[in-house]
Structure 1
Amino acid sequence: MRISQCIAPALLLLAAGAAQAASAWGFDDGSISVVAKKSAETVKEKLNQKAPLSKPVSLGNTDTLKLSLTAKDNGKGKRPHQAFLVIQEQDSGLEAPFPLTVKETGKAAVQISHKDLPIQLLLSAKPLKAFVVLASFGSAQGLSTPVFEVKIETDANAPPPAYEEPLRYGKKPEIQHVFRADAKSPPKVISLFFALAVLATLPALLIGWIYLGGNVNHLSKAIGPAPLSHATFFGSIVAMEFVFFMYYTSWNLFQTLPVIAVISAATVLSGTKALGEVQSRRLAGER
């Protein structure tokens, strides 16, 4: 009695596990119909999930292909999480999935016409394979089975659909970049004219000093307390003008900037002390 009581629950669990493992998706009441837009003629075929149709179904440019079936889980009508009619090109394996509209009872349907198919499939010379795909969460085994083939019929009077290959990322030809020639200096006549214009301001500067009462006698007084500062300050101004000349004639920007940085630092340090000495004499009343 005790042995039978132990064996019975174990057998029930094994039976339940076997039934769950044998659960699989399938379909019933499957049919396919091709409805012509310009005529009342309709081609209808029954579908079987175990074997596809023996002959391809023709789909004209004005026809509509309609598929209907009842999805079942372990023989019971049920709505799967995934339900597609997949159209596949035989040579390249290119696929186009079309989702089925499924009710809670498992009844599903989908419609396809030429405008729904990619151009690559419309240009296929061989019939296209059609698969029904049903799957869901859980332990039930999904279904992916061929059900029929579609032969695309095109209008002989209409131009074939144009197809452009998509852009693919890959190795490209090497680009030989040619840099522009370096900028040339202006004509020497123009440069000489502006140089003379700058030199012409020197007499005007000397006349201004004489008119304003410049005193050259203070030169010895200025150099006496701070000779190095005045000499460095004046020399840095001359050196900066020389750097501009070299940049204009031969140097590039990367050669010019470091030299300008060094001369600028010397100008600031020496100018602070040199101009401070001049300020001290002015404050003392010397003119």
Structure 2
Amino acid sequence: MYSLRPLFWLLLAVAAVQASVLSLQSPRFTILSSSAEQLRSEPLSVTQKPAPLTLGASDALKLTFQVLDKDEGKGVQPHQTFLRFYDEISGEEGIQPVRVTSGGKAKFELNMARPPASIPPTSAGIPLKVELIIGSFVHSPLKVELFELFLPESHPAPQHPDEASFHPLPPIHHTFRPEQKLPPRIISAVSAVLVLAPWVVLVGLWGHIRPSVPYLLSPSILPFIVTLGAFETLLVWYWVDLKLGQVLLYGGILSVFAALAGRQALATKGDLRVGRK
């Protein structure tokens, strides 16, 4: 199926090229004091900016202009019109909408006695760049740099009671314990001998007594031998992975079965076949 998307974009591009151009007629600014005394009043030029404007703490700035369709020479009402106050040092900006009548006439007033909250914070000696931006669906957009504006220095923002909670805290420095030191080899060897000594004694007694295998595997003796092997396995497991609390818990449970199995083994009557030399 033939796609209409390329044709749509082509028609959109043609419409953009043929869109009417907007222009400003009779742009003018006026600076008034708190007593309505006119301090400065000049027309504005689209191609050349005037000398920077300066407003006092109680002065007011009035801006008037008319938006025209350049081709037809008639006033039009664009869809969006606003002033952009931009601080090149801090990068902050503020947007103020401008109302435009159906005939294209616009009037804007900035009273420093009640400045809008959207004006960015100002520093002493640093001007704001003021731009006029106009957008329309049927006209090409218009952007004009009007003038530079010096405003009174902003007061510091009031401190919030919880402001200190959001300040960065000093970094936390962890002090790690030194690495574990291994004991001398002689101490490790002596400890190993002490641990293995009971097994040496047990093997020696086992060879002297020589109990019969059927007797050791009898139902009354085998559980006790299994519990003893379980104790040894628990100690090895503790050395490898378990913690002391787990060993005490498992050992306490295992000791109950070992005591019962040992009592049963001692109560069993049987004969040991003792070998003779």
Q: TM-score, normalised by structure 2?
A: 0.50
- Fraction of identical pairs, as percent: 23
Matches within 5 A, 1:246-261: 255-256=241-242
C-alpha separation in 1, matches of 2:234 and 2:16? 96
C-alpha separation in 2, matches of 1:124 and 1:82? 32
C-alpha separation in 2, matches of 1:85 and 1:23? 22
After superposition, give the CA deviation of every residue in 1:9-33 in whole Å (9 maximum; x if it has no partner).
Answer: xxxxxxxx79963621222243322
Matches within 5 A, 1:75-94: 75-89=73-87, 94=92
CA RMSD of aligned residues (A): 4.8
Return closer, same or farther for 1:90/1:237 CA change in 2, 3 Å cut-off: closer
2:222 is the counterpart of 1:225: no
Return closer, same or farther for 1:176/1:18 CA change in 2, 3 Å cut-off: closer
Return closer, same or farther for 1:111/1:46 CA change in 2, 3 Å cut-off: same
C-alpha separation in 2, matches of 1:23 and 1:144? 15
C-alpha separation in 2, matches of 1:22 and 1:243? 84
Amino acid at match of 1:256: L
Which residue of structure 1 lines up, in the alignment, with residue 134 of structure 2?
Answer: 134
Which residue of structure 1 lines up, in the alignment, with residue 52 of structure 2?
Answer: 56
Amino acid at match of 1:133: I
User: Is the helix fraction higher in 1 or 2?
Assistant: 1
C-alpha separation in 2, matches of 1:175 and 1:21? 62
Matches within 5 A, 1:102-251: 102-114=100-112, 115-116=115-116, 117-119=119-121, 122-138=122-138, 140-153=139-152, 161-162=155-156, 177-179=173-175, 224-225=218-219, 227-233=221-227, 235-236=229-230
- Structure 2 residue runs of 5 or longer lacking an equivalent are 1-13, 159-167, 179-214, 265-277
Task: For residue 142 of structure 1, report the CA deviation from its aligned partner.
Answer: 1.5
Return closer, same or farther for 1:260/1:222 CA change in 2, 3 Å cut-off: farther
Which residue of structure 1 lines up, in the alignment, with residue 22 of structure 2?
Answer: 25
C-alpha separation in 2, matches of 1:149 and 1:105? 28
C-alpha separation in 2, matches of 1:143 and 1:99? 15
- Structure 1 residue runs of 5 or longer lacking an equivalent are 1-16, 155-159, 165-171, 183-220, 279-287
After superposition, give the CA deviation of every residue in 1:38-90 in whole Å (9 maximum; x if it has no partner).
Answer: x1213463544524453332211122222232223333322223312122345
C-alpha separation in 2, matches of 1:92 and 1:27? 30
Task: For residue 181 of structure 1, report the CA deviation from its aligned partner.
Answer: 5.3
C-alpha separation in 2, matches of 1:258 and 1:25? 85
Amino acid at match of 1:149: E
C-alpha separation in 2, matches of 1:94 and 1:76? 36
